Amino acid sequence: MTNLDLQHLVEQLSVTEFHRPFLHHAFFNRRLRTTGGRYQLQSHNIDINPKMLTDFDEATLIGVIKHELCHYHLHILGQGYQHRDAAFKQLLARVGGSRYAPQPKSGVAVHAYRYTYQCQSCGQVYHRKRRMDTRRYTCGHCRGRIKLV
């Protein structure tokens, strides 16, 4: 699916589900990593994560588009467009949009912990994302010395 195909799909969904035209631009944005899509308040454009199409089926993509169109139409009408607003929740339920986008499956593998430390006295293991100074810190259980494994 190209950006032009996405634009046509968004325009079609806007007319059929919301009964209002979509007058701005919709495109895929590869830089989106943790979200399914984004509505831009200043430009009124909609960015869609391309992994919503490659990792999942078209129904998931349509759910994300409906979610972003809820933000779009409510913002244009001057109503509550944020996730916490009742108008947003009601419109999202009425059109059948997805409340949350699924976590993308593919991409760069992120290791939760990069460093593993172990107490030399009691053997307690500590996992850390950041490196720590072993001269400043001691074991929280026995106050023993900590060593990078």
DSSP output for 29-69 = -TT--S-SEEE-TTT--EEE-THHHHSS-HHHHHHHHHHHH
Q: Which of the following is catalytic: 11, 17, 58, 68?
A: 68
Give catalytic status of residue 68 as yes or no: yes
- HSE-up (13 A, CA, CB side) for residue 139: 17
- How far apart are alpha carbons 17 and 33 in whole angstroms? 27
Contact 39, 73 (CB under 8 A): no
Which residues does the annotation mark as catalytic?
A: 68
